[in-house]
Structure 1
Amino acid sequence: MKRLFFLIPIIAFVALTGLFYSGLFLAPTVLPSPLVGKTAPEITLPKLDEEAEGFTRAELGQGKPIIINYWASWCAPCRIEHPNLEALAMREGVTLYGVDYKDNAEDARKFLTELGNPFDKINRDAEGRVAIDWGVTGVPETFVVDSAGVIRVHFAGPVTEEVMNRLILPALK
């Protein structure tokens, strides 16, 4: 009996070590989002400013797929992905909406003036409340919503050329 009590902590330690070790090799950017395959949540937010055009949930699922990118001016990976978003936005048939996340509106405008504005429409989620409904845990995060308003892709991290070709572009077809 004493031997059993001695072995239980050792077995538990080995099991936990194996579990943590296997977690090192998981892809943290491919999120097992419960929203993938479901209708996109509500996204009623103010637009970034008077010049920018905003969007609502009603515009999603109107017969064309839409990419939604959560970003912020203070986000270093957002700067890294920005040229790729611009390249994506220039492709024929691609509609790209942006959501400025927990950001100062003036800083967001400066960011877009400096780097260019790839977004067809931009909303502002200053408090991050709508982002919670979308399952956003940080920025940048990108969603592809199909022509029926169903989320097909949820990607966390900067959009790279590889991500565009492997995940985003195939989901637009």
Structure 2
Amino acid sequence: MGSFIRFLPLILVIALGVVLYRGLSLNPQDMPSALVGKTMPAFALKTLKDNGQVVTQVDLLGDIVLVNVWATWCPTCKYEHPYLVDIAKDPQVKLYGLNYKDDRAAAQQWLKNYDDPYVFSIFDEEGTLGLDLGVYGAPETFVIDHHGIIRKRFAGAIDTRVWRREFEPLIAQLVEEKNQGK
């Protein structure tokens, strides 16, 4: 029994190493979302630019929509932003922002400095909509079909490579479904 107790710390370190190695091998962009296949959660929040304008999930219906979660405190959002400006030029999708747990004035200045790709940005100062969406942090992007159903959640920055691999095939599928009246 005495020799087992001497090896117990070594066994615990090896077990912890195995658990940590497993965690490092996971892709954080593959985090599942319980909302994929379900409707956009109900919300009523003000827009970033106009403190008097309230928007709801109904304002996102009818088009293929990308909801991009962003914040001024997020360095990866700054990297992603020029790609979003290009994506916003695509007539097949509407790009909406979800300004997450941010300062209104700082976020408004950000969009003035770096160009505003969004139809509008929802101002989620307290993070309530982010919580309902299961947001872990920024940036994250949700693809919502023309019926208001969340079809994809992507955690991380979008760039040209990610757009082509992760989003273009789904957007093409959703455009085809919309054209067929599905």
Aligned residues of 1:48 and 1:54 also touching (Cα < 8 A): no
Deviations 1:21-71 (A, max 9, x none): 122121112221111122221232111123997642113342x21000111
Q: Which residue of 1 aligns with 2:110?
A: 111
Report the 3-state secondary structure (helix = DSSP H, G, I; strand = E; otherwise coil) of the residue aligned with 1:83.
helix
Deviations 1:121-157 (A, max 9, x none): 2110111111100111211111111122111111112
Farther-moved stretch of structure 1 (158-167 vs 130-139) = 158-167
Matched, 1:93 2:89: no
Query: Matched residues in 2 for 1:111 and 1:52: separation?
Result: 20
Query: Matched residues in 2 for 1:59 and 1:87: separation?
Result: 23
State the identity %.
38
Aligned residues of 1:84 and 1:161 also touching (Cα < 8 A): yes
| Larger helix share, 1 or 2 | 2
Q: How many aligned positions are there?
A: 171
Q: Which residue of 2 aligns with 1:160?
A: 159
Query: Matched residues in 1 for 2:55 and 2:167: separation?
Result: 20
**Where in structure 2 are the equivalents of 1:1-173 lying within 5 Å?**
2=1, 13-50=13-50, 55-62=55-62, 64-172=63-171, 173=174
Query: Matched residues in 2 for 1:124 and 1:77: separation?
Result: 19
TM-score, length-normalised on structure 1?
0.86
Residue 92 of structure 1 and its aligned partner are, at CA, apart by 2.0
Query: Matched residues in 2 for 1:159 and 1:55: separation?
Result: 25
Query: Matched residues in 1 for 2:164 and 2:54: separation?
Result: 27
> In structure 2, do the counterparts of structure 1 residues 89 and 52 end up closer, same or farther at CA, with 3 Å as the change threshold?
farther
Query: Matched residues in 1 for 2:122 and 2:27: separation?
Result: 29
TM-score, length-normalised on structure 2?
0.82
Residue 11 of structure 1 and its aligned partner are, at CA, apart by 5.5
Q: Which amino acid counterpart does residue 123 of structure 2 have in structure 1? A: R
Query: Matched residues in 1 for 2:2 and 2:39: separation?
Result: 55
Residue 169 of structure 1 and its aligned partner are, at CA, apart by 2.3
Aligned residues of 2:44 and 2:54 also touching (Cα < 8 A): no
Query: Matched residues in 2 for 1:35 and 1:9: separation?
Result: 42
Query: Matched residues in 1 for 2:37 and 2:15: separation?
Result: 33
Report the 3-state secondary structure (helix = DSSP H, G, I; strand = E; otherwise coil) of the residue aligned with 1:69.
strand
Q: Which amino acid counterpart does residue 30 of structure 1 have in structure 2? A: D
> In structure 2, do the counterparts of structure 1 residues 53 and 162 end up closer, same or farther at CA, with 3 Å as the change threshold?
farther
Aligned residues of 1:55 and 1:121 also touching (Cα < 8 A): no
Q: Unpaired segments of 5 or more residues in structure 2?
A: 175-182
Q: Which residue of 1 aligns with 2:178?
A: none
